[in-house]
Amino acid sequence: MYEKIWDAHVVERRDDGTCLIYIDRHLVHEVTSPQAFEALRSTGRSVRRPDLTLAVPDHNLPTTARRTPDGRRIPIADPASATQLAALEANAPAFGIRYIGDADREQGIVHVVGPEQGFSLPGATIVCGDSHTAAHGGLGALAFGIGTSEVEHVLATQTLLLKQSRTMEVVVEGQLGPGVTAKDVVLHIIGTIGTAGGTGHVIEFRGNVFREMSVEARITVCNMAIEGGARAGLIAPDDTTFRYLKNRPMAPAGEEWDRALAWWKTLPTDEGARFDRSVHIDAADIPPTVTWGTSPEDTVPIDGAVPDPASFADPSKRAAAQASLDYMGLTAGTPMTDVTVQNVFIGSCTNSRIEDLRAAAAVLKGRRKADSVTWAIVVPGSGLVKEQAEEEGLDRIFTEAGLEWREPGCSACLGMNPDKVPAGERCASTSNRNFVGRQGPGARTHLLSPAMAAAAAVTGRLTDVRDLAPVAATEPA
């Protein structure tokens, strides 16, 4: 599938194998674009295809109200954030690029907005100056993160000079156990292959487990392909994908839809195709998973314990594990379910879509957060997700449980906006990175699924969601 999409986008092939690849869709946000626009200005270059480009602010936006009741903009306290946001707001129209602004109902995290609007499509090449662009691979797009010089390159030429990656398949077959979600699956995969396991490769996620997932769950899996070192993740488009995309505002319609559908159906990897590397995982071996350290590969089953650094054979891994435990304030052998958390973050481009919020709400319904949890926020991935959640009454479930219901944005996934975890405190987080200082200087992050984050909010410690039956136990599990 990767090779099919690649071949369809080759503008020119050089003798050394490097290809000039055409880019179908370019998402732009405020953090990695200002220097690119500035360089276009200083070199007198223009944007080749503004119509294939979509700009949305997300990283710096506060998730509190952005407008007063009478519609005036509430100034952003941090002048540096305000400058970056103002730069995008000015650059987009100056270069003729469609812009979804901070007060538009479609605004959200670029990786939520792209699929939701039908801007992202199967078989398309999609780039953005953000490594979690891999997310769009959940639709069967070849999507990957780029740096600012590449943003400038795409703006100016609508192409990138790339070397073809090697191919890797991660096959998960079988039946997932209770309480195991797409997030647990991808955390377990990263724990298995390591953060450099996919370096130089594009990963195709294959097997019945991914076929049976919703598009949103597939986006969660592909979103974290980069945490396994792969620049892109892919899942073959199928009827689930097509149903998801049909009638999205920017998706093809009418005759164009039919033509698109015919091509999309040719994309899945052919029977018997060979991958450069294969990893097979039995679905039944995947537990509800959390991280204990400062790398996404530091995973452990929720019913497991903090590992002993001495158990790592590689001396540098042993040292890294010890440094992680020191930073995390954890002792080897502690059961994960004894680890207390003071903060809970439900959101990010990994887990802020409607199904994620429903999963968290199902756990929180009829419950209240523990008093020891001092900060717990739910941040929808877009204004449209927010509207949908409010229509379903999810916002009331969250607020009645004592969680805050916020405006869409990247929020506490990274320390760029006011949503930060205080130094030394622990956060149960549905985001994608548990790096040192990621959620704020000194913050300690445990990655997990939305349902497990909700469970942690209720008990004030990392909790096995399987031990927390729904309060309104009228529906079968």
- By CB under 8 A, what part of segment 168-207 binds another protein? 195-196, 199-200
| Residue 372 or 435 with smaller CB distance to another protein | 435
Contact call for residue 350 and another protein (CB under 8 A):
no
| Residue 39 or 273 with smaller CB distance to another protein | 39
| Residue 316 or 474 with smaller CB distance to another protein | 316
Residue spans of beta strands (DSSP E) within 284-361: 289-291, 299-301, 343-346
Instruction: Provide the minimum distance between the beta carbon of 65 and another protein in the complex, in angstroms, as a whole number.
Output: 21
Do 126 and 109 form a contact (C-beta atoms < 8 A)?
Answer: no
Say which residues have a Cβ less than 8 Å from residue 86's Cβ, sequence separation at least 6: none
Structure tokens, 217: 């769950």
| Residue 232 or 283 with smaller CB distance to another protein | 232
Structure tokens, 341: 């958390």
Structure tokens, 189: 């995969």
Cα–Cα dist 385/349, whole Å: 12
Contacting residue, 63, 107, 131, 350, with another protein by CB under 8 A: 131
By CB under 8 A, which span of 142-150, 210-218, 273-281, 338-346 interacts with another protein? 142-150
Contact call for residue 435 and another protein (CB under 8 A):
yes
| Residue 194 or 402 with smaller CB distance to another protein | 194
| Residue 279 or 340 with smaller CB distance to another protein | 279
Cα–Cα dist 361/218, whole Å: 20
Contacting residue, 102, 152, 204, 356, with another protein by CB under 8 A: 152
Contact call for residue 135 and another protein (CB under 8 A):
no
Say which residues have a Cβ less than 8 Å from residue 203's Cβ, sequence separation at least 6: 168, 169, 170, 225, 228, 230, 232, 233, 234
Contacting residue, 174, 177, 304, 415, with another protein by CB under 8 A: 415
Site string for another protein, 49-88 (x = CB under 8 A): --xx-x----xx-----------------x-xx-xx--x-
Structure tokens, 360: 């968290």
Do 124 and 138 form a contact (C-beta atoms < 8 A)?
Answer: no
By CB under 8 A, which span of 115-123, 168-176, 378-386, 461-469 interacts with another protein? 115-123
Contact call for residue 441 and another protein (CB under 8 A):
yes
**Residues between 89 and 108 that touch another protein (CB under 8 A):** 98
Site string for another protein, 277-316 (x = CB under 8 A): ------------------x--------------------x
| Residue 62 or 129 with smaller CB distance to another protein | 129
Do 325 and 387 form a contact (C-beta atoms < 8 A)?
Answer: no
Q: Which residues of 93-108 are buried (b: 16+ CB within 10 A; e: fewer)?
A: eebebbbbebeeeebb
Instruction: Provide the minimum distance between the beta carbon of 75 and another protein in the complex, in angstroms, as a whole number.
Output: 16
Structure tokens, 382: 């877009």
Contacting residue, 57, 62, 108, 123, with another protein by CB under 8 A: 123
Contact call for residue 251 and another protein (CB under 8 A):
yes
Contacting residue, 38, 308, 392, 404, with another protein by CB under 8 A: 38
Say which residues have a Cβ less than 8 Å from residue 183's Cβ, sequence separation at least 6: 220, 289, 350, 351, 430, 447, 448, 449, 450
DSSP 163: P
Cα–Cα dist 379/158, whole Å: 33
Do 20 and 26 form a contact (C-beta atoms < 8 A)?
Answer: no
